[in-house]
Amino acid sequence: MAPKSFLIFHNPQVARSEALANTIDASLRTTHGCHAECTTLAAAEERALLPAPDMLVAVGGDGTMLRVSRLGALLGCPVLGINLGRVGFLLEVPEAEWQAALVRVVAGDFWLEPRMLVYAEHMRAGARLGEHHALNEVVITRGALARPVRLKTAIDGSPLGTYIADGLIVASPTGSTAYALAAGGPILPPTLRNIVLIPVAPHLSIERAIVLAEGAGITIDVRIDHPAILSADGQVEVELRDGDRVSVRASQRDASFVRLQDAAYFYRNLAARLAYKESLQ
């Protein structure tokens, strides 16, 4: 189905983002006869309370795409990413190709790729303090002190073990190519629905990454005598205390990415990214 209404997000921290977003806005309205609105990334949470458009557009880098994708999952809107960042692994359209991309999108010539989010629930003394959705990962990590955290874990109620480490990454398949990859985790195809666990600098504890079965969740009991942090996609941070519990599972909400390439795009992009990494060494 061809979309008729668009909400375009620009990131003030990304050069050229606002200018290009305004140009795309004008093109959608004047050239393609669509309803379009342009706004800043800071307004993403406020937009969740308003009627949803047919499609969201993220103009920026991967950080922009992460934030807009979480809103898209909440609203049930697909997201088209236009890349202005250095890597832009999540975004579909290079900056120079946005005009051709719009022609295809308004004609309905695209497909939608679901992406699993992870959902984290933060508990303290039996009370829920907060909940967080993340496209890439939820991370429990030490604070400023260079001391490991102790994280007692269970998978669907069955004890797994205690991680003694700088942190524990709980990643989605999308997140397996982000922080999790840098920490030595495996690469998962993005359309899987498995959670992967990767310890950060483990000390005399579980060292290997673990891929959970589809539908499985993890409960993490925090054992610390110093500050620790819970973060979601590196954009939301919450302080953890001794005795806090964090439960993570697949979210009931999926993000939906607008794709113009064929289904083999992931491996092409991955090969290009790994080749780029090698060129820097």
Domain boundaries, the chain: 5-110+260-279, 117-252
* Common-topology check for domains 5-110+260-279 and 117-252: no
Helix, strand, coil share (%) of the chain residues, nearest 5: 25, 40, 35
CA end-to-end distance (rounded Å), the chain: 45
For residue 280, what pLDDT is reported?
52
For residue 51, what pLDDT is reported?
86
For residue 281, what pLDDT is reported?
56
For residue 69, which phi and psi values (nearest 5 degrees)? -65, -35
Q: Which helix (H) or strand (E) holds 219?
A: strand 218-223
- Domain spanning 117-252: CATH superfamily: Probable inorganic polyphosphate/atp-NAD kinase; domain 2 (2.60.200.30)
Q: Are 244 and 227 in contact (CB under 8 A)?
A: no
| Distance of alpha carbon 139 from alpha carbon 171, whole angstroms | 8
Residue of 171, 164, 192 lying closest to 234 (CA atoms): 171
| Distance of alpha carbon 48 from alpha carbon 50, whole angstroms | 6
The DSSP secondary-structure symbol of 119 reads: E
For residue 123, what pLDDT is reported?
98
For residue 47, what pLDDT is reported?
78
Active site residues: 62
- This prediction's pTM: 0.94
Question: Residue 274, CB half-sphere, CA atoms under 13 Å: how many?
Answer: 9
**Strand intervals (E) in 52-174:** 55-60, 79-83, 93-94, 111-124, 127-134, 137-142, 149-155, 158-165, 167-171
Determine the number of helices (DSSP H) and then strands (DSSP E) in the chain.
6, 17
Each residue's pLDDT expressed in tens, for the chain with a length of 281 residues: 899 999 999 999 988 999 999 999 999 999 999 999 999 988 877 777 678 999 999 999 999 999 999 999 999 999 999 999 777 789 999 999 999 999 999 999 999 999 999 999 999 999 999 999 999 999 999 988 889 999 999 999 999 999 999 999 999 999 999 999 999 999 999 999 999 999 999 998 999 999 999 999 999 999 999 989 999 999 999 999 999 999 999 999 999 999 999 999 999 988 887 776 555 55
- Whether the CA torsion 265, 111, 56, 188 is positive or negative: it is negative
For residue 93, what pLDDT is reported?
97
Q: Are 191 and 231 in contact (CB under 8 A)?
A: no
Q: Which helix (H) or strand (E) holds 247?
A: strand 245-259
For residue 138, what pLDDT is reported?
99
- Domain spanning 5-110+260-279: CATH superfamily: Probable inorganic polyphosphate/atp-NAD kinase; domain 1 (3.40.50.10330)
How far is residue 40 from each of residues 17, 23, 25, 59, measured CA to CA in Å? 10, 14, 13, 10
